[in-house]
Amino acid sequence: MSDRRIPLAAVIGSPIAHSRSPALHAHWLRRYGIPGYYIPMDVAQADLAEVIRAMPKMGFVGANVTIPHKETVLGLADLVTDRAALIGAANTLIFRKDGKIHADNTDGYGFVENLRSGAVDWAPKTGPAAVFGAGGAARAVLASLIDVGVPEIRLSNRTRARADGLQKEFGAKVKVFDWVQAGNMLDGAMTVVNASSLGMVGKPDLRVPLDALSAKAVVTDLVYTPLETAFLKHASEAGCSVVDGLGMLLYQAAPAFERWFGMRPEVDDNARRIVLGI
C-alpha cells in the first residue's frame, strides 16, 4: 500500500442525504489544501460491520457515525475512549495504521466549546443546569456538564423512565423532574439546555413557562433547524444569553478532522455559512 494514498473519510448513517458534514469537511479540506475526500455513506445495520472492516483497506482514515449506528459501532471498535463509553455511543472512528479501530465521541466537546465561544461569561460551576430531553444527545450533554463541574443537573423528559435511567447511570448530581413540572427546573439554573427534538422544523415547540428563569442563565438549544427556535427566542426576550445549536455541530467536527487529516480546522463564520448552505 502506498504512503501517498489519498486520505478518505466518511459519515455513515441511514438516512444520510440530509447531512451537512460532507460540505463542512470539503470546505476545510479545500481551505487547508489537503488532497482528501469526505463522503456520505448510507449503510444498513446488517452491513455495518462488514463495511467498517473494509474501509481501511480502501484508504479511509476514519469516519463519523450518526443515527442509527452510534451505539452499535462501540461493539465493532478495538479501542473505545472513556468519554464514548460513558456516553454509550461514538460519533467518530479513527482507523489507525496498526489496523485497530478507535471509537471516540466528540459531541460533548462540541457542546461545551459552542457554549464557551457563544457565551463568554458562561460559568457552569456557579449554579445548577436544567436539561430537557433524555435521548442520545442528552447523554453527551450530561457527561460534559458533569465534566465541566456543574453542581447539579435537573433533568426532565416526556417519558420519565428514560430520565430515571440516565439518573441511575450518571449518578446523584442528576435530579429528575416530571415533564408537566419541567418549568420548576429553571429556578436558579445557570445553564439551560433543550436536548429534546422539540422545536425542530416539523415538530411542536418546546413550551415551558420561563417565569423562574434568571437573566443570568445561558440558554442553548441543540436543535439548529431553525437556528432560532421559539425556546431560544423567548429566553432571549427574558434577557438571557442564548447560543444556537449549529456551533455544536461545527465544534464536534473539528477534533475528528484533526485526527484524520493532521490539522486542527478553524470554526469560523465561513464554516458556519457552509453548513447553512448560504
CA nearest to 235, candidates 219, 212, 216: 219
Residue 138 within binding range of ligand NAP, rule CB under 6 A = yes
Which DSSP category does 228 fall into? Answer: S
Active-site residue, selected from the candidate residues 70, 97, 100, 216: 70
Contacts to ligand NAP from residues 149-178, by CB under 6 A: 157-159, 162
H or E element in which residue 114 lies:
helix 107-118
Question: What is each CA distance from 143 to 107, 116, 159, 191, 202, in whole angstroms?
Answer: 10, 16, 20, 14, 29
Residue 198 within binding range of ligand NAP, rule CB under 6 A = yes
- Torsion angle of C-alpha atoms 87, 29, 116, 108, degrees rounded to 10: 0
Query: How far, in whole angstroms, is CA 70 from its chain's centroid?
Result: 11
Please identify, using beta-carbon distances, which residue of 124 and 245 lies nearer to ligand NAP. 245
Binding mask 209-248 for ligand NAP (x = CB under 6 A): -------------xxx--------------------x--x
Shortest Cβ 84–ligand NAP spacing (Å): 14
Backbone dihedral angles phi then psi of residue 30, each to the nearest 5 degrees: -65, -50
Shortest Cβ 126–ligand NAP spacing (Å): 24
Please identify, using beta-carbon distances, which residue of 127 and 228 lies nearer to ligand NAP. 228
Residues at the site binding ligand NAP, with contacts judged by CB under 6 A: 107, 110, 133-138, 157-159, 162, 195-198, 200, 204, 222-224, 245, 248-249, 252
By annotation, the residues acting in catalysis are 70
